Amino acid sequence: MGYYDRLSALDASFIGLEDSRCHMHVGGVFIFDAKPVENEFGGIDIDRIRRGIHSRLHLVPRFRQKLAFLPYERLPIWVDDDRFRLHYHVRHSALPRPGDERALKRMVGRIQSQQLDRSRPLWEMWFVEGMEGNRFALVTKTHHCLIDGISGADLMSVIMDADPEPPPSHPIPWVPRPRPTEASLIVDEVRRRIRQPFELLDAVGHGLRHPEQALRNAEETVSALMETLTPAFNPASNTPLNVDVGPSRRFDWTAMRVADLKAIKNELGGTLNDVVLAIVAGALRQFFRERGIDSDDLTVRAMVPVSVRTADERGALGNRIAEMVADLPVHLDDPVDRLRAVRETMADLKESRQAVGAEVLTAIAEFTVPNVLVQAVRMAERARPYNLVVTNVPGPQIPLYLQGCEMLTTYPVVPLFRNQALVVGLFSYNGGLFWGLNADWEAIPDLHDFVEYIENSFAELQRRAKPRKRKASVRKAGARRGAHKSVAG
């Protein structure tokens, strides 16, 4: 019996959206203390690292599978790779010593500019030695059809440990299952298509038995779809971020303390994600103005992915995400006003049904063919409902280790879509908030300037939050002194 898995409509859409310029892999840049795996030559013991990864691969069987396609319809499926080689996927590289972070950023840009080989399992890990400070980097690439941000965060627990000295583990023997024949694939797909009308009839029958509930659900569904599609009928402004992108990438990063952002939101209001979006809005305002663009007349929006993964789905591969489109107040000069505007916008969006509407579109594609979802995204790209993607993924707040090496930092890599030359990804880990900025090489040669604008915008909010705190402390101290005088009198 041949074995295969179908891709969900959302997972398959990332295959359909990929082309020679927009590569649909996600990833990260993880920097480690190298001492526990240092070899006698001052490099890293890559064989030890490979053995450790090999011993955990049975926990992620998808990483030994590759793409195949149904006959005629060319719908993607997963089959076991009968020529899987770990050495192809776990790669060893080095920077000229002593390698600084600037050199690493350039290497990351080159690695992320290369499309994954679709004839093999869609992932790569690059271990890069030679970093100054006795560190090494892990640069990962995994196709978006395999993971979203949340499931990607869960996978960290597969190859990493919370204990610097984990118990020894050994590889479990693996034998690839046979690939199904074309005839069996055709038969299975015909059976699936035959079942679909009956599933639709069941849904209709339920509606006839419960007409009031069906009507209410239908009204909510139409309302959700309208709210989801509204941004496409009201395009965002055309900015330097919205140009045709090429295949080459620049990558840069910065880091902050989660506690510092929490202090801002505790003082000025909102959520941590509201503070992040306000920081991005301030950085974009400076970015446009440095390019001679008046930001006061711009309508700038960010697409903010939202996880709809339930608690019992954590650890599962595949994508469970919806999206919300939020206005960014780049027209406001005052950072506190920007945060207030973001807070109000996000509160309204949380009350809206945008995320539900996105799930409805995905369900429609699941019932028909994944190409429906691909064409919907292509239409949205041309309509320019938003200017960039800003995605913030929560990660573990404890130190993690790889073969005894402590992970020091982790910067996310998020793919670019057509006509969007910049994406901002964030990942929180062990008290730090790590920003990874992926950009088109030609469109944004000043990417590091944008990193500085983010840092400037963050510093603005910090300064505005601190005086309020000092004044409150002064008022409290004055009240205590007044109370003391009253008692003394």
Catalytic residues: 144
Place of tokens 């007044």: 482
Rounded to whole angstroms, the Cα distance separating 82 from 66 reads 9
The runs of H, that is alpha helices, within 59-145 are: 86-89, 101-112
CB 118 within 8 A of CB 146: no
d(CA 71, CA 241): 39
User: Between 211-229 and 182-209, two packed helices, what is the crossing angle to 10 degrees?
Assistant: 120
**DSSP assignment, residue 24?**
-
Residues shown for the chain: 489
Residue whose token pair is 């069941």: 202
**Cβ atoms of 84 and 121 closer than 8 Å:** yes
Question: And the tokens for 431?
Answer: 């008290």
DSSP 170-229: -PPP--PPPPPPHHHHHHHHHHHHHHHHHHHHHHHHHHHHSHHHHHHHHHHHHHHHHHHH
Question: Residue 59 in 3-state DSSP?
Answer: helix
Q: Which of 390, 269, 393 is nearest to 335 (CA)?
A: 269
CA 400 to chain centre: 20
Q: Are 20 and 115 in contact (CB under 8 A)?
A: yes
Residue that has been written with the tokens 């910090």 in this structure: 462
Q: Which residue has the tokens 């299975």?
A: 188
Take residue 436 and report the two structure tokens written for it.
Answer: 């990874």
> Kind and range of the H or E element at 479?
helix 447-488
Cα 381 from Cα 365, distance rounded (Å): 18
Question: What's the longest Cα–Cα distance across the chain?
Answer: 98
Residue 403 CB neighbours (<10 A): 19
